[in-house]
Amino acid sequence: MPQHDSDHRSARERSEILNRYAQRLVHRGGERELHWYRRAAQADPTWAAPWFNLGLAHKYRGEWAESLQANRAALERQGDHRGACCIAATALRDWNSAREAWRRYGLALPDGDGPIDAQLGAIGVRLDPGDSGEVVWAERIDPTRARILNVPLPGSGHRYRDIVLHDGSVQGTRKVEGHEYPVFNALGLWQASAYATFEALIETEAPDTLAALVEGVREGDGESAGQVEDWTHTVRYLCRTCSEGEQDHEHPQAPAAHTRFQLGIAATDEAWLRGVLDEWLGRHPRARLLEFGRAFPADVTP
């Protein structure tokens, strides 16, 4: 056996050992896995796998420049390697790199520069995969970005019409009227919306009248138009297995009150929203606004 073949096999074996060791460290926190992935890459400079794993590790840490660099190194070693270049490049708004990666993965794109709006349909997005795991509906803008269509719970750290960066692998599904939609885990906020989230606790013995309030908020006046979510009746709590699977069963919940409704309302103008509420209350004197307040602020970035 030629000496260089033997040396290469020895280098690959050492790299595989170091790569496996790094993988065992992933869930232990800290940065040790990054060190050992780099050692694995050094042991066999021709192997793409440790560079790909290093790119993944940086991705889940939100270190996008490092993730893009590692995934490019993987592609240099294996041209058909399906890494996370498009996610990292999109996070960095490096549109030339993102478009190149999308085309490499077979997505037909229109000519031009900059971001695209591919209108890829509705999906579910799990906003906080490691904690509450709230899933909201979103419109997929491209393979890695989606715009939130619901009013998320305040604890999610997200707002109506936030654009989030999401992972590429499907983590569960949701079925509506016989149609199945994929669910993706969010990786972070890509662009904050101008909407704040308000909470309104309303008591009414005529729930049908809430439709007029919802219509008033959604129609709005130009950019003031908002969104309403009935958190009392539309929020469903699922175990992790159900959330990430196909929801073969639902868990029993306590009966919801039929006269009190906790609404999540997205709006850009609090004074306008109060006016909509006051007008609705004036037309429905038997309804009462028990509580009202700002639950999550709008983005204040200049």
Strand order of the β-sheet with 196-203 is 227-230, 260-267, 196-203, 288-296
CA-CA distance, 19 to 15, in Å (whole number)?
6
The CATH class that applies to domain 3-104 reads mainly alpha
Asked if the model's pLDDT at residue 102 lies above 50, the reply is yes
Q: Where do the CATH 3.30.70 domains begin and end in the chain?
A: 196-296
- pLDDT by residue (tens digit) across 60-94? 999 999 999 999 999 899 877 767 788 999 999 99
* Per-residue pLDDT at 301: 55
* Per-residue pLDDT at 5: 59
- Token pair, residue 31, equals 């940065």
How confident is the prediction for the chain on average, in pLDDT?
A: 86
CATH annotation of 196-296: 3.30.70
* Per-residue pLDDT at 221: 66
* Per-residue pLDDT at 46: 94
Asked if the model's pLDDT at residue 246 lies above 70, the reply is no
Least confidently predicted of 102-111, 133-142, 283-292? 102-111
- pLDDT by residue (tens digit) across 19-33? 999 999 987 767 899
- Our separate counts of H helices and E strands in the chain read 10, 9
* Per-residue pLDDT at 240: 47
- pLDDT by residue (tens digit) across 140-191? 998 899 999 999 999 999 999 999 999 988 999 998 889 999 999 999 999 9
pTM: 0.85
Q: HSE of 81 in the Cβ direction (CA atoms, 13 Å)? A: 22
Q: Where do the CATH 1.25.40.10 domains begin and end in the chain?
A: 3-104
Q: What is the dihedral of CA 134, 120, 187, 20, to 10 degrees?
A: 110
pLDDT class of 253 with cuts at 50, 70, 90: low
